Structure 1
Amino acid sequence: MTDIANREATLARRRSGGWRRVATFRRLLLTIFVVGQTLTACYFLLWVLPYHGGTMVELGLLVLFALLYMWIAVGFWTAVFGFLLRLMGGDRHSLLKRHAGKELEATPLARTAIIMPVYHEPVHWTLSGLKAVYQDLERSGHLDQFEFHILSDSRDPNVWLEEQATWYQLCRELGAEGRLFYRRRRVNLNFKSGNVADFLRRWGRRYRYMVVLDADSLLSADTIVRMVQLMEREPKVGILQTAPSIINGESLFARVQQFSNRLYSTLFATGLAAIQMGDAAFWGHNAIIRIKSFMDHCGLRKLRGFGLFRGPIMSHDFVEAAYMGRAGYEVWLEPGLGNSFEESPPTLSDELSRDNRWSRGNLQHLWILLFGRRLRLAHRMALLNGVMAYLASPLWLAFLILTTVEAVQMTVARIDYFPEGHQGLFPLWPEWRPEWALGLALSTLSLLFIPKFLAILDAVIHGTARQFGGVLRLFISVLAEIVVSVLLAPIRMMAHSRYVIGALLNLSLSWAGQNRTQETSWRDAFVTQLPGMLVAAGWSAFAWSLDPIFFLWSLPVAIPLVLAAPTSVLLSRVGAGQALRTWGMLLIPEERVPVKVLEDARAARRNGGRGSVLTAVEAAVVRPRLNRLHQALARKVRLARRAELLAPLVARCGSDGPASLSRSELSQLFRDRQSLAELHQLAWQAPPDSFWGRRITLLGRNH
């Protein structure tokens, strides 16, 4: 056995050295392409600018253009790498390519926890997804090696009482007692990462691996089993990340998002995985983690900076991957692991609300990027990539502002033949090269749109175009997605710029569960988008007063902002999304070829989510079986404290109903076993015309 272990360790070291050399070459190649292309574009911009970079404004434009162009170029070449690798049959250095199928299938599984942290999520909808994963593993015959944990941070009693009731119902329905667990933290510290850390401190040593799911995550049994087997074969891998596909889109917005994700991510994920290799990022969900390594090396200390950069780390996943890499473990993204799914926010407003939270966490990475010790360069670049996802918007806005300043100077102000910084006896003559400007603009747009058409070509080559509705419908769907993306880009720019400024000023932010069904009303759309609409209209009017050419140049940004409210409303409509689906537009393969875990989740969500006549708090008091369940999960508060704190709350709730208590008071009450028993007794003894009497009468009518 010792000889076998030594051979495995030697093989692992050789693999690590081999992929690192390949990764270095690929990253160097990417750097040459990106930097070379950016320098060329900057050279053309210098000759487009009237003073060729001879003024402070033009130097500012040049710096901003270089940063933004480089950001776009990285994405472009990542997609090109992915296209070429898929053309050659895939990346032969990926984890899946290292092991033959039969070798993996023969690998025994290790004990694994499947955890789902939740916070004020739609309870039935969320746990129906977990139920589908459970059933898929049961069908696969591998359920014995897995245990499930629902980790709740919910604070609203109506939510967490419903979570407890639904969990109990699932345990009975699935026969999952002793395999499906529920735990709610009473002290909510450090967001999701604190929730997971609390689980690991209590139960982490019980398992070798954990699979992390979000509330909207779905993973097939085959994928989960294959992930565990890969981790068993690769002892140096600390985190293995899948590339989730977006599914279950109903609104037009969600359908556009899931179509673009499903079609384009094939190239981007393949290219990204090939460049990052064992230094990949962790996205926080739909991944498997080696628990001991994670517990030993990925604890997150609070930031010690100022403002936003002080306190708990909100966006934990990229940082945990960096710490895992620092400890000598590998982090891999494996696009070949299919049947990994998540869901998109249903509306633009919901996406922007989510981005408001995410932007703060990603901007915190600036501190870790600058002051984190012994982090690998690849992980520092991943942190920078996360920062730029939001910082690019205010940089673009600043570029537009400087462009406007340049137009004002050239139109209104007297031409300065000796601008600041210019030295010499001869004047600096402003020059205009409109044909160069047009060529530069077209080349920039090509970086954005060529990968989309490469994705069409990739689908045709690999025979998957028919799964998107056929080549013609696929092509029209891509054109429709391009139109929507052009309309959304300026709206996101304005919103993200506001979020970045708010984050840097450390303005307060509340965290809430994600809406998954509601459409956007006209009133909400105008309230949200009116500032951007007014700014865009004013900017265009000003541009027209300056110069008709500058006005035309402003329209691609101004028109989407002016139309932001109707765009937001239209994209939120489920009817519009379903109409396009009926016509065969914006289809994804999972809508044409059934996937069992998706079918199970949809069926569970359809069949069980009937609204109750009672709230979860009322049902916990009135229904005998539920009351006994919540008593069993509650604790016994000491008598002295009960008499002082809880007895008055019981009396008030018993006479006036739960509306007479605050959320915090209700939580205290429903965490106490004796209070629950007393409330149940008071409710059933209450007169028929009292609050609880009316609740019981209403319950009887609906049974």
Structure 2
Amino acid sequence: MTEAANSRIPTHSTTWKRVATVRRFFLTLFVVGQTVIASYFLLWILPYHGGTLVEIGLLVLFIFLYMWIAIGFWTAVYGFVLRLVGGDRQSLLRRHRGKALENTTLAKTAIVMPIYHEPVQWTLSGLKAVYRDIERTGHLDQFEFHVLSDSRDPNVWLEEQSQWYRLCQELGAEGRLFYRRRRVNLNFKSGNIADFLRRWGRRYRYMVVLDADSLLSAGTIVKMVQLMEREPNVGILQTAPTIINGESLFARVQQFANRLYSNLFATGLAAIQLGDAAFWGHNAILRVQPFMEHCGLRRLRGFGLFRGAIMSHDFVEAAYMGRAGYEVWLEPGLGHSFEESPPSISDELARDKRWSKGNLQHLWILLFGRRLRLAHRLALLNGIMAYLASPLWLAFLILTTLEAVQMTVASINYFPEGHQGLFPLWPEWRPEWALGLALSTLSLLFLPKFLAVLDAGIHGLAKNFGGLWRLLLSVLVEILVSVLLAPVRMMAHSRYVLGALLNLSLSWAGQNRTEETTWREAFMIQFPGMLVGAGWSAFAWSLDPMFFLWSLPVAVPLVLAAPTSVALSRIGLGQAFRSSGLLVIPEEIAPVDVLEDARKARALNDESSVLTAVEAAVVRPRLNRLHHTLARSHRQPIRAGLLAPLVSRLGNEGPDSLSRSELSQLFSDRASLEELHRMAWRSPPDSFWGQRISGLSRADLKR
């Protein structure tokens, strides 16, 4: 279907915008009304009823935090109600069903996977599964695959090149599966995508973006392209990924929560956003031409954190697409979209350290971005609050402690600051109101979880989670883990926000996907929070036993943070829960083809090698020829003169004598690769390279 034909298809922009306005109005009414009532209760619970600066601070923080929680609660309620009535009539899938969608002709589409220091064989095995799945549909001719590497370590990117070539041969994918490594690593993942689009973007109408841990079924990919063909105003179509392949207890809890609760939250979020949805950076399809024209990211021109490259690009690109007049949709009905979770809380927090800085950068775009739609500004604010909420909660706890100190240690002040007049302000305590407010706040947090259980029961999905009773028990386990981790995340995110605002530097590294947390690592990471929790609890006991009891839900998880972190990272515990039928998800009971293909491919690990990727690139004839072909031919005499001493040192002393940068320069140069191979095979048997060659079998040399 051509773009000209697309332009004649009637759009539904007016309808969905009108519906979105109504839905957002009622959401605002519910959230603001509920927050006003809760704030009124808090005002009368406080001893001086907001008559002191501390109490004013508590009230302001409470309003922001309660509103943040209420938005999540009503989003889940929206999702529950819509699923109860059969789904959202405004969704793209409800507009186009049956033969009309199935018979839509596909357009040329690129499937791109940006990678950076990922486990090479594991990552490309996932891409292989996606390739095979599309091949089975008979639509392979409309898709081309691109691995876009930003890896800097030669042992990683040389392995990427060799595994990519091996995969091309195995799949018969020459001319369909491409690999490129950028020599200059600018602007993180968004810069990698931009580099690809500048070179090859005009070749494709659409681009499907995958992360290293992403898997998309062929049916979902094909349906995404067909929906884009039938909806010419849609610039980005985002799926709601399901977390899979959890092995550790932490990962299994995360994937269970994601799989069960996202039915409500993703449906509700999609219903509220409609054509003003956010883009999450992967497991989505983009219309290439408008993305190239309107979604280029300029460097921020502010100060500190707000100066330089935009690290979290996805929400900003969605906002720019909306500004250009295109729609961005989240479609939860597009199933079989998968990603993976970090295996431990330590790894999740390491990832959050990067994400928090990127999301806080959005403050600048939120305040100074021009002509952005209100819904996209609110999406930016939502991403900011995901991390800013933690220091706000911490500030709320600090002010609560100050209030307790004032009421316990200091004498009662009948004329607090801001209070004027001849009559004193008598402090009042209303414990029954305080209990009611606490319970209402907890209900906002936990009621959606049980709504998700009810939703699973109504739609006959409980059996896919191990049965109703196991599902309920799994929810209780997830709640317990969430309670234990909430204060840990609060402390960590508060540090990250402070570090981001101070513009402290950070490193960008590949994600750990397999290792368990050691006791030493856990104590090193969690010790500051454990100290704070123990100290705060002891101080609370010295003030008042009731305040001590109030502090325990925060203090106890902080004190137990290290053993909790170690226990949750254990694969054995995760497998024990799975064996007992707890924390299971439907994809483990009824396997999906693309997941099974990926699992089998990843299980077929390459035979262990005595050589590193750098050593193999020098010694093995076939690999040396491959890397020689992919390298550049530098004919400048000056550059050749600079590389010659490096070649000599590597040939005489081995790879440890050079830095990563020096090795990368050599292995990116054809003449150097050729000379290194010659030197290695002419080396004496007792030399570094002679010993490497003598340890190889004939089979090794042929690989």
- Say yes or no: TM over 0.5: yes
Is the Cα–Cα contact under 8 Å of residues 242 and 259 in structure 2 kept in the other structure? yes
CA gap 1:85/1:566 in 2 versus in 1, 3 angstroms: same
How far apart are 1:642 and its partner, in Å? 4.0
How far apart are 1:694 and its partner, in Å? 1.2
3-state SS of the aligned residue for 1:608? coil
How far apart are 1:664 and its partner, in Å? 0.5
Counterpart Cα distance in 1 of 2:434 and 2:576: 40
How far apart are 1:643 and its partner, in Å? 3.8
* Deviations, residues 72-130 of structure 1 (Å, cap 9, x unaligned): 00000000000000000000110000012211000000000000000011101111000
Counterpart Cα distance in 1 of 2:314 and 2:519: 36
The one-letter code sitting in structure 2 at the alignment partner of 1:8 is R
Is the Cα–Cα contact under 8 Å of residues 114 and 212 in structure 2 kept in the other structure? yes
How far apart are 1:5 and its partner, in Å? 4.5
Match of 1:526 in 2: 523
TM-score normalized with structure 1 length: 0.98
- Where do residues 424-439 of structure 1 align in structure 2 (5 Å cutoff)? 424-439=421-436
The one-letter code sitting in structure 2 at the alignment partner of 1:255 is R
| Residue 309 (1) aligns with residue 303 (2) | no
| Residue 544 (1) aligns with residue 544 (2) | no
Aligned mate of 1:347, from 344, 347, 350: 344
How far apart are 1:2 and its partner, in Å? 12
Match of 2:192 in 1: 195
Match of 1:468 in 2: 465
Is the Cα–Cα contact under 8 Å of residues 6 and 232 in structure 2 kept in the other structure? no
The one-letter code sitting in structure 2 at the alignment partner of 1:476 is L
Aligned mate of 1:97, from 87, 90, 94: 94
Match of 1:649 in 2: 646
Counterpart Cα distance in 2 of 1:612 and 1:563: 42
CA gap 1:484/1:372 in 2 versus in 1, 3 angstroms: same
Counterpart Cα distance in 1 of 2:334 and 2:587: 15
- Where do residues 530-679 of structure 1 align in structure 2 (5 Å cutoff)? 530-679=527-676
CA gap 1:702/1:407 in 2 versus in 1, 3 angstroms: farther
| Residue 33 (1) aligns with residue 30 (2) | yes
* Deviations, residues 220-265 of structure 1 (Å, cap 9, x unaligned): 0000000000000000000000000000000000000000000000
Counterpart Cα distance in 2 of 1:702 and 1:223: 41
| Residue 171 (1) aligns with residue 172 (2) | no
3-state SS of the aligned residue for 1:429? coil
Match of 1:287 in 2: 284
| Residue 449 (1) aligns with residue 443 (2) | no
How far apart are 1:133 and its partner, in Å? 0.2
Match of 2:148 in 1: 151
- Where do residues 133-532 of structure 1 align in structure 2 (5 Å cutoff)? 133-532=130-529
How far apart are 1:700 and its partner, in Å? 2.4
- Where do residues 19-58 of structure 1 align in structure 2 (5 Å cutoff)? 19-58=16-55
| Residue 118 (1) aligns with residue 123 (2) | no
Counterpart Cα distance in 2 of 1:124 and 1:568: 28
* Deviations, residues 269-317 of structure 1 (Å, cap 9, x unaligned): 0000000000000000000000001001101000000000000100000
Counterpart Cα distance in 1 of 2:60 and 2:322: 32
Counterpart Cα distance in 2 of 1:193 and 1:560: 37
Counterpart Cα distance in 1 of 2:568 and 2:272: 35
Is the Cα–Cα contact under 8 Å of residues 245 and 340 in structure 1 kept in the other structure? yes
Instruction: Quote the RMSD (CA, aligned, Å).
Output: 1.3
3-state SS of the aligned residue for 1:188? coil
Counterpart Cα distance in 2 of 1:265 and 1:143: 31
How far apart are 1:613 and its partner, in Å? 1.5
TM-score normalized with structure 2 length: 0.98
The one-letter code sitting in structure 1 at the alignment partner of 2:133 is D
Counterpart Cα distance in 2 of 1:545 and 1:273: 49
Say which is worse superposed, 334-343 or 92-101, in terms of deviation.
Answer: 92-101
Counterpart Cα distance in 1 of 2:367 and 2:636: 53
The one-letter code sitting in structure 2 at the alignment partner of 1:88 is V
How far apart are 1:6 and its partner, in Å? 9.0
Counterpart Cα distance in 1 of 2:117 and 2:426: 63
Counterpart Cα distance in 2 of 1:543 and 1:689: 69
3-state SS of the aligned residue for 1:114? strand
CA gap 1:439/1:701 in 2 versus in 1, 3 angstroms: farther
* Deviations, residues 556-600 of structure 1 (Å, cap 9, x unaligned): 000000000000000000000000000000000000001000000
Counterpart Cα distance in 1 of 2:517 and 2:2: 63
3-state SS of the aligned residue for 2:604? helix
CA gap 1:542/1:144 in 2 versus in 1, 3 angstroms: same
CA gap 1:179/1:424 in 2 versus in 1, 3 angstroms: same
CA gap 1:418/1:89 in 2 versus in 1, 3 angstroms: same
Gaps of 5+ in 1: none
Counterpart Cα distance in 1 of 2:317 and 2:623: 39
CA gap 1:534/1:201 in 2 versus in 1, 3 angstroms: same
3-state SS of the aligned residue for 1:107? coil
* Deviations, residues 136-157 of structure 1 (Å, cap 9, x unaligned): 0000110000000000000000
* Deviations, residues 398-451 of structure 1 (Å, cap 9, x unaligned): 000000000000000111000000011100000001111011001000000000
Aligned mate of 2:81, from 81, 84, 106: 84
How far apart are 1:639 and its partner, in Å? 4.5
Counterpart Cα distance in 2 of 1:74 and 1:237: 26
Gaps of 5+ in 2: none
How far apart are 1:602 and its partner, in Å? 0.6
The one-letter code sitting in structure 1 at the alignment partner of 2:323 is R
How far apart are 1:608 and its partner, in Å? 2.6
The one-letter code sitting in structure 2 at the alignment partner of 1:91 is D
| Residue 8 (1) aligns with residue 8 (2) | yes
Counterpart Cα distance in 1 of 2:391 and 2:412: 29
CA gap 1:634/1:546 in 2 versus in 1, 3 angstroms: same
Counterpart Cα distance in 2 of 1:4 and 1:588: 44
The one-letter code sitting in structure 2 at the alignment partner of 1:693 is G
Counterpart Cα distance in 1 of 2:414 and 2:699: 85
The one-letter code sitting in structure 1 at the alignment partner of 2:540 is A
The one-letter code sitting in structure 2 at the alignment partner of 1:283 is W
3-state SS of the aligned residue for 2:146? strand
CA gap 1:6/1:290 in 2 versus in 1, 3 angstroms: closer
Is the Cα–Cα contact under 8 Å of residues 157 and 663 in structure 1 kept in the other structure? yes
* Deviations, residues 167-219 of structure 1 (Å, cap 9, x unaligned): 00000000000000000000000000000000000000000000000000000
Is the Cα–Cα contact under 8 Å of residues 125 and 609 in structure 1 kept in the other structure? no
The one-letter code sitting in structure 1 at the alignment partner of 2:405 is V
